[in-house]
Amino acid sequence: METTPAVPATGGPRPDIHTRQDTSTNHAHRLHLYGALDRVCVPLAAADVQAVFKLAELDCVTVHAVIDWLDAARTLEPCPLAHPR
């Protein structure tokens, strides 16, 4: 049985490998965040889109926590205002 020769060691992983992976992960996070915002009927302003892009760069646990908060907000009664306007 022949074996595949070992790949020579380099200084580390190629930078383009992780860039594509991170971009793909960020894109998936953005789609999930947009979906969660859409479910709670939040219209997005330009600043909101920028916030979604920044949130999408965070780790999976954090992004899913934000999505869970948005989903939970759909089922909660509105909070009474502490200081009425």
Model's pTM, two decimal places?
0.64
Q: How far is CA 9 from the centre of its chain?
A: 33
Task: Tally Cβ neighbours within 10 Å of residue 30.
Answer: 17
Note down pLDDT in tens along the chain; length 85 residues.
555 555 444 444 444 444 444 679 999 999 999 999 999 888 889 999 999 999 999 999 999 999 999 999 888 777 776 555 5
User: What pLDDT digit, counting tens, does each position of 30-54 carry?
Assistant: 999 999 999 988 888 999 999 999 9
Contact 63, 32 (CB under 8 A): yes
| Number of CB atoms found within 10 A of residue 37's CB | 18
Residues 6+ apart with CB under 8 A from 37: 44, 48, 52, 70
